[in-house]
Chains A and B, each alone.
Chain A
Amino acid sequence: MQMSSIVKTTADILFPFILIYGLYIIIHGHLTPGGGFQGGAILASGVLLLLLAYRYTESTKIVRQVVMKSFESTGLLLFIIAALSAMVIGAGFFFNWLSPGGFIFGDVVAYGSAVANLNTGGLIPMMNIAVGLEVVGAISVILLALLSGIKEKI
């Protein structure tokens, strides 16, 4: 199906902004409402905008299924590695060993209302990024698979 050039131009203009907004939601997941799942869904909605605006044969050249599959696998692997990394120093699975006083994301916060400090949270921001990568890959793969059922003629 061929969309009009208005739709294509709008998708081209809006796509970078959706990308930046999704990345903002992912990276600030431990400070503001949001997180890996929500930001990944926003990024995938940007991908869906591109897929709908262009013809199926064109859009699969922009959004390649192999890239999205590798995103998905990399995200899940990073998540498991981040969980396993606590076992290296002798703590349990999923222990947040970076949180108080680690070298990165390690600022100490006190109880109560606080200002937004990006350098806190320990493993949580890393897991947010990993999960965001996994969600955008998984939703894009599902969308590509569902779109491949459409006949080429229309």
Chain B
Amino acid sequence: MRRKISIILTILMIGMLGVIVSGLTFGEPGEHPMDRYFIENSQIESGANNVVTAVLFDYRGFDTLGEAAVLFTAALGATLVLRKRRED
């Protein structure tokens, strides 16, 4: 019973993903004005040749701050969970 529900759920999710994906064409991205701005202005404004790094550390710095905080928290959690016990 549980197995049947799982298989039906999997097929349903694959179908939903297929419906989402079927409207997109490969090689023609839906370009936002933001992307055009990043490509044309990031080199002059931030001075970095690598546009991805400029986006990551300059325009979207808050994203990277949250990312670093998540990594820090994961390390903290792993050491907390796997700390040495007194017994066993």
Contacts and interface: CB of A to CB of B under 8 A. Distances in A.
A3 B84 CA distance: 25
B48 A120 contact: yes
A148 interface: yes
A6 to B, nearest CB: 31
B38 to A, nearest CB: 12
B65 A80 contact: yes
A62 B12 CA distance: 51
B79 interface: yes
A87 B81 CA distance: 38
Contacts of B50: 29-33, 35
Of the listed residues B48, B52, B69, the one surrounded by the most CB atoms of chain A closer than 10 A to its CB is B48
Nearest to A147: B82
Contacts of A79: 64-65, 68
A35 B74 CA distance: 21
Contact of B57 (A31, A108, A123, A145): A123
Interface stretch (B3-11, B15-23, B25-33, B39-47): B39-47
B74 A142 contact: yes
Given A96-B58, A145-B79, A146-B78, A120 B72 contact: no
Interface residues of A, number: 48
B75 A76 contact: no
B72 A35 contact: no
A32 B54 CA distance: 12
Nearest to B54: A124
A99 B65 contact: no
B15 to A, nearest CB: 35
A124 B69 CA distance: 18
A15 interface: no
B61 A31 contact: no
A124 B58 contact: yes
Given A79-B68, A128-B53, A134-B72, A99 B78 contact: no
A142 B71 CA distance: 10
9 contacts: A94-B61, A94-B62, A108-B47, A109-B49, A124-B54, A127-B61, A141-B78, A142-B78, A145-B79
Given A134-B72, A142-B78, 10 more contacts: A30-B48, A73-B72, A99-B47, A114-B43, A114-B49, A121-B46, A121-B47, A121-B48, A128-B53, A145-B79
